[in-house]
Structure 1
């Protein structure tokens, strides 16, 4: 168990299928890390996504792609705890696990606007702010349109600068560089034999080519 001696040892959390990881994931994570002055961001690949179809690449392949993508970026770490847990990869369970390890550290769960809009469909979503802050990343020109009840919840927990040292409980809207990159489109391009250069790291493209990923649904490492 890790007890934080310094409340500024804040940790970011970015979960997803990362099927495959691309520059949209990586740039958003790095910019959130810089803007909130986090110690690091943990990229957490899910095993069984609760809200979408199964991944095409295996868990081992997705973890390998992530590890190579962030190999020389010390602010970004790969955390594979969900790959060792049975059942659907519920975010609240991951946060509970992180809280056992990082008792006092501020935790910042990073979500895109679409994910945040759908948060009320998540398992035990009311517990999330008890365990972490939520960072809602937006394009500079994007307006966060929310349904009335979610807008009320959002306004209730909207963070102020002085809230940064709290370990959880607040919502932080942040503007990040807009990179309209889609993992779905990348997979479709790969299956069609189209180039995907400059959408994801070359190290990830090399792994995809060497393992023959996204050529069929039997993509296994």
Structure 2
């Protein structure tokens, strides 16, 4: 049952605004309207009273200046991931800031020149996805035996996708999980230490490329090798 009555015909409405609009349209009278000032621009205008919050003139309503615009900057954004973080360049050692999504991969580098330097070192010899063999002098003593043992352990198949020598038309690549250069640069270790059987995995060229670009976590490779 309505609580607001039209002063002319007695019809009741659930809101004062409804009664005012009815009175104006049906009885051609302006009964029910009140004058007030716009809360945004201060202009005076007439309106039908209602329970809604905010009193805005038609011009401000049209421009939507009355709407509340939520603050979605920085940490207030629902997609906020913490903003820029500080990284140490794997080549020159300089610290720099970057969004985590722009520093994904095995290494983080501060500039294009450092990226090129890292690539030139990482993709040399057996480290290159297109490696087809060649001299083993750069890898030192023990590499040939370790490579052969890894292929036998992995059944001459990629430990990630299962592509084998028959599919490839040649043996899979053998990838160092921790690169040889890390052992060379570490105190008290040398190239031969990199050739531990637990530190190598047989990979097809595609998976090898992904691993070299840092798109395959080292712990995943270790788990794949450990399952053999």
* TM-score bracket for this pair, using the shorter chain length: under 0.3
| TM value normalised by structure 1 | 0.19
Larger relative contact order, structure 1 or 2 (CA cutoff 8 Å, min sep 6): 1
Larger Rg: 2
